[in-house]
Amino acid sequence: MRYTIKQVAEKLDLSAYTLRYYEKECLLPCVERDERGNRVFGDKDVEWLVLICCLRDTGMSVSEIKRYVEHCAAGDERIEDRKQILFEHKRKVEQKIEEMKQNLAKINKKLQYYDDVVSSTGYICCCKDERQFE
């Protein structure tokens, strides 16, 4: 399949500006152009963009993605480098997940506190014992 920039933007919930930015930053090194100079995306481009979105959504910087793309363009001799970049990113994502789990536990504890206050008194007192957020 072949897609216009508008179709890809809608498909991936990105703006056309973001797609043009990714291309300008060399994150999309192989996007073709039609006879009028318009970008034409193929299925492989869309798959690549899904990976880029995944990496961005999990906190990888554009410069780090660019480094990963450069290693991909270098061929099979850079597979270990690519794996290392993804492994390090995976470790950071796992660490962030653990931090988020801890934060979620604190939020759940606070919600339980409010449920306990409401069930015992029938209302929430906003000033008393608010510091109980351990």
> Higher-confidence residue: 126 or 57?
57
Residue 45 has pLDDT above 70, yes or no: yes
Residues 91-101 pLDDT 10s = 999 999 999 99
Report if residue 56 sits inside a domain.
yes
* Domains identified in the chain, total number: 1
Report if residue 88 sits inside a domain.
no
Report if residue 128 sits inside a domain.
no
pLDDT of residue 125: 59
Q: What gap in Å lies between CA 133 and CA 79, rounded to an integer?
A: 46
Cβ–Cβ < 8 Å for 23, 14: no
> pLDDT-based confidence at 119, cuts 50/70/90?
confident
Domain limits for position 43 = 2-73
**How many Cβ atoms sit within 10 Å of the Cβ of residue 128?**
9
pTM: 0.81
For the domain that residue 67 is a member of, what is the CATH number?
1.10.1660.10
| Element holding 41 (H helix, E strand) | strand 39-42
Residues 5, 56, 72, CA angle at the centre, nearest 5°?
A: 80
